[in-house]
């Protein structure tokens, strides 16, 4: 099922087809997703898989202290993280995606769902990166970060298909 909202189509099914590939997504009858955003995420991941034989994916959620009208702060923050990773892990091709989600229950609040795609040969665990992200986001004057129970994945070109299902 699809529905138009804010000039974008919202999708409510548990699976979506992108580039002829069926992918499971976390969409429900109440909470949909925007296919264009999912397509951009898949595109970033595919580019990284084409460049690296292994891709390390780290996921995190950044909570804003107050509403901001634009996205300059998150763009700047993500660019700073990529610069830090380039310097500390000696890797240059880093992909990233983020999407802002408004919390309707809290009319003036939003948060960002973020992912970084890094060369899996230079990093295998998320602890150090997440510590740096936490400290830097807090320095920006924002509230603590929410981390997922399993905040990272190691994707190998050889297990790429099974990781996508």
What one-character-per-residue DSSP string does 5-41 give? ETTEEEE-SSEEEETTEEEE----SSS-B-HHHHHHH
Give the distance from CA 136 to its chain's centroid: 17
Q: 3-class DSSP state for residue 57?
A: strand
Mean pLDDT of 96-116: 81
Confidence of residue 63 (pLDDT cuts 50, 70, 90): confident
Map out the domains of the chain as residue ranges.
2-164
Confidence of residue 162 (pLDDT cuts 50, 70, 90): low
In 10 A of CB 33, how many CB atoms?
18
Mean pLDDT of 112-133: 93
CA dist., res. 100 & res. 87, Å (int): 27
**28, two tokens:** 């429900």
In 10 A of CB 130, how many CB atoms?
17
Q: Does 54 score more than 80 pLDDT? A: yes
Confidence of residue 101 (pLDDT cuts 50, 70, 90): confident
Confidence of residue 33 (pLDDT cuts 50, 70, 90): confident
Better-scored residue on pLDDT, 32 or 115: 115
What CATH number has the domain spanning 2-164? 3.30.70
78 — alpha (psi -120 to 50), left (phi > 0) or beta?
A: alpha
**64, two tokens:** 């804003």
Q: Does 6 score more than 80 pLDDT? A: no
Mean pLDDT over the full length of the chain:
84
Q: Does 80 score more than 70 pLDDT? A: yes
Angle, nearest 10°, between helix axes 127-139 and 72-89?
140
CA dist., res. 99 & res. 113, Å (int): 5
Better-scored residue on pLDDT, 86 or 16: 86
Confidence of residue 104 (pLDDT cuts 50, 70, 90): low
Which pTM value belongs to this model?
0.85
Q: Does 57 score more than 80 pLDDT? A: yes
């Amino acid at each position: 099922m699809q529905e138009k909202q804010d000039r974008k189509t919202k999708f409510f099914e548990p699976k979506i087809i992108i580039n002829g590939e069926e992918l499971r997504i976390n969409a429900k009858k109440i909470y949909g997703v925007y296919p264009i955003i999912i397509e951009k995420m898949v595109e970033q991941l595919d580019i990284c898989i084409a460049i690296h034989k292994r891709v390390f994916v780290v996921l995190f959620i950044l909570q804003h202290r107050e509403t901001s009208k634009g996205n300059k702060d998150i763009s700047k923050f993500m660019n700073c993280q990529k610069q830090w990773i380039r310097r500390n892990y000696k890797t240059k091709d880093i992909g990233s995606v983020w999407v802002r989600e408004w919390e309707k229950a809290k009319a003036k609040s939003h948060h960002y769902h973020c992912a970084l795609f890094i060369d899996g040969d230079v990093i295998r665990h998320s602890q150090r990166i997440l510590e740096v992200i936490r400290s830097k986001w807090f320095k920006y004057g924002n509230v603590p970060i929410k981390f997922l129970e399993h905040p990272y994945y190691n994707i190998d070109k050889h297990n790429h298909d099974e990781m996508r299902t």
